[in-house]
Structure 1
Amino acid sequence: MYIVTGGAGFIGSAMVWKLNKMGIDDILVVDNLSTSEKWNNLVGLKYQDYLHRDQFLKFILEGDDPFETEAVIHMGACSSTTELDADFLMENNYRYTQYVCRFCLGHNARFINASSAATYGNGEFGFDDDETAIGRLRPLNMYGYSKQLFDLWARDAGVLDQIVCLKFFNVFGPNEYHKDDMKSVICKAHAQILETGKLKLFKSYRKEYPHGGQKRDFVYIKDCVDIMAWFLEHRGTGGIFNVGTGNARTWNDLANAVFSAMNREPEIEYIPMSEAIRDKYQYFTQANMDKLKAAGCAVEMTSLEDGAKDYVQNYLDRDDRYLRSR
């Protein structure tokens, strides 16, 4: 059985889709559907069963493996960078991940975990996935800190070579529609341009960056799941790895890519950034991808323009915007 926690979420459901493409449907989806709309991400995907995250935790804490687990792709976490309940993040993101990791190690199951580029904070120490330097990173929010804590625990427990922790940068693509304010700017831009004909971007408050010139490493969801599939097939490779393109692009680049994919002329309005986030705003992120390449992963990363075109024209512009397997 392949277990995907957060399996109804953005990256999790995309990974179920990828497993289906690999001919795998012996999948257990673990999540907390509640009253959200993310159940739509599961429609058209092939999997054997669903468990609420609390029920799954009860099973693994009992110590047995009723699932005959081949691998756990652990994408289940609160991914909101604005979540203020630190106790919740400690239990949901840090402690829960420990339990799942121990379960996998105890049953010889592959463990692939979602860390985050948010662990890098403002980037003052760079964006190198160097396991010896985890402790000097300074996340800017509690979400990033909860992810860093697990990376530190795995390093100190001496298990990093047996598991995989992936630091995802700015992921965009199908199946993110339930994420409200945490949706990618590409997804928000498409809706905004359809409604108003223009796109609003934040002004810059640092002279070295023009308005819209702030940079991010935008990575397409299909590349992310291809990389996770590679790790499933290469069980001997473990550690912390960045997942990005290695090429930082500006918000203006992103805006132009979306307008082009929609066959429209760019019209951008620069708006003030709220004072609440100015001090914590990242002006530059760029994944160092050398470690992943050195490990032998040869996934070809999609350019921002090609990813935006595929996302807009084959998903956002269509009535059915989801990844489907059936």
Structure 2
Amino acid sequence: MTQKTIVITGGAGFVGSNLIRKLNSRGQSNIIIIDNYDERKLLNIKDCQFIDYITYKKGISHIEEALSKHDIDAILHIGANADVLVKDAEIMFNANYEHSRFYLDYCTGREIPLIYASSSAVYGNSSNCIIDNAFEHPHNVYSWSKWMFDKYVLANMHAFESRVIGLRFFNIFGMGEFHKDKNASLPHRFYSFIREKGFIDLFDKQIERDYVWVEDVCDVILEILTDSSLENGIYNLGSGNPISHRAMAELVVEECVKRNVSADTSSLIKSIPMPEELLNSFQFHTKAEELPEIVSRHTAHNKEKIRKYVNQLIDRSTI
């Protein structure tokens, strides 16, 4: 039986590389990666199997020409410019809106599935994270670019003959995010703070966010790809159980103390003022709501998964 050929944009990145490993473990190797040539990210796919690698840096025409050499069965569009500090709307919208429209048109024109990554950033500081315009309040160029594509998808959903599923990712943590620096997940950053500075500096504001394990995210995506029961639409992909920054810091400290990474002292968490420039572009609360069963079934018990991840980081540091 001939393997299906799957395109994964952002395939050398955090979620994308985890998707490839999971597909490889299931015997799937006909995978085309679309990403840039970043040496740090290439480490993520060193042990992965795939058949082609296409740079998105040469533009949409180059991507289209390179894909024409293959018979594509599905696109998992994970790649994006996620740097919330980028202020140039042309740069951000070219990456997150124009490229996304290309993949949508490519898939619908060939009647093949498109599963794409949206973002919980579109909610801003809404009191509810519900997929409805009333609760969507983007507050930076990144979140506006994600919101814009979601609006385009929803406006044209009635015309799609093939599957189109958008997933609003909440805060994802897990192995494979080492290249992300300041954009890495909070468990990773807090662990890095302890290793590098000996303590965690914590903003002096009440911040509570929804965290989801990358393994669960990949399981959800691949189940949606093979199970057609979920109707076309946009869905939240989170745990539904937010954790405060303070509780996250305490959890990371507990695991570090257990593993003798740090001494058990009260000085491991230090409060610092939040910079003024972040106050109007920072999400203080997120909670994934109205989760479909295919998501909620995978994403429970996230505190235990965070603990497991911290221990994976400790193990990696001791190799």
Shift of 1:56: 7.6
Quote the Cα distance in structure 2 between the aligned partners of 1:269 and 1:119.
30
SS of residue matched to 2:292:
helix
In the TM superposition, what whole-angstrom CA distance separates every residue of 1:159-183 from its partner, at most 9, and x where no partner exists? 5783011101111111111112111
Correspondence 1:242 to 2:242: no
Quote the Cα distance in structure 2 between the aligned partners of 1:298 and 1:136.
21
Amino acid across the alignment from 1:230: E
In the TM superposition, what whole-angstrom CA distance separates every residue of 1:74-98 from its partner, at most 9, and x where no partner exists? 0111011111110011111001100
Amino acid across the alignment from 2:306: A
Match of 2:114 among 105, 111, 115: 111
Asked if the contact 1:135/1:152 (under 8 Å) is kept, the reply is: no
Which residue of the partner structure matches residue 165 of structure 1?
Answer: 166
Quote the Cα distance in structure 2 between the aligned partners of 1:49 and 1:56.
17
Amino acid across the alignment from 1:292: P
Normalised TM-score (structure 1): 0.86
Correspondence 1:198 to 2:199: yes
Asked if the contact 1:220/1:302 (under 8 Å) is kept, the reply is: no
Quote the Cα distance in structure 1 between the aligned partners of 2:302 and 2:60.
38
Correspondence 1:305 to 2:303: yes
Which residue of the partner structure matches residue 324 of structure 1?
Answer: none
Amino acid across the alignment from 1:226: D
Amino acid across the alignment from 1:170: N
Quote the Cα distance in structure 1 between the aligned partners of 2:134 and 2:156.
14
Q: How many residues align?
A: 305
Normalised TM-score (structure 2): 0.88
Q: How does 1:1-326 map to 2 (within 5 A)?
A: 1-34=5-38, 36-54=39-57, 57-58=60-61, 61=64, 65-124=68-127, 126-129=128-131, 133-134=132-133, 137-158=136-157, 159=159, 162-204=163-205, 213-237=206-230, 238-262=232-256, 263=258, 265=264, 267-288=268-289, 290-293=290-293, 296-297=294-295, 299-318=297-316
CA RMSD of the aligned region, Å? 2.3
Quote the Cα distance in structure 1 between the aligned partners of 2:303 and 2:163.
36
CA separation of 1:174/1:268 partners in 2, compared to 1, >3 Å: closer, same or farther?
same
Shift of 1:314: 2.4
Shift of 1:302: 4.7
SS of residue matched to 1:25:
coil
Quote the Cα distance in structure 2 between the aligned partners of 1:48 and 1:244.
31
In the TM superposition, what whole-angstrom CA distance separates every residue of 1:212-241 from its partner, at most 9, and x where no partner exists? x42100111111111101111123522101
SS of residue matched to 2:50:
coil
In the TM superposition, what whole-angstrom CA distance separates every residue of 1:116-154 from its partner, at most 9, and x where no partner exists? 000111114x1013xxx2376220111000000001011
Quote the Cα distance in structure 2 between the aligned partners of 1:217 and 1:109.
31
CA separation of 1:136/1:247 partners in 2, compared to 1, >3 Å: closer, same or farther?
closer
Shift of 1:312: 2.1
Identity %: 29
SS of residue matched to 2:7:
strand
Asked if the contact 2:118/2:166 (under 8 Å) is kept, the reply is: yes
Shift of 1:313: 1.8
Asked if the contact 2:139/2:280 (under 8 Å) is kept, the reply is: no
Quote the Cα distance in structure 2 between the aligned partners of 1:272 and 1:89.
29
Amino acid across the alignment from 2:78: M
Quote the Cα distance in structure 1 between the aligned partners of 2:117 and 2:271.
33
Shift of 1:13: 0.9
CA separation of 1:2/1:64 partners in 2, compared to 1, >3 Å: closer, same or farther?
closer
Greater RCO, CA 8 A, separation 6+: 1
Asked if the contact 1:257/1:304 (under 8 Å) is kept, the reply is: no
CA separation of 1:60/1:103 partners in 2, compared to 1, >3 Å: closer, same or farther?
farther
Asked if the contact 1:134/1:151 (under 8 Å) is kept, the reply is: no
Quote the Cα distance in structure 1 between the aligned partners of 2:318 and 2:165.
33
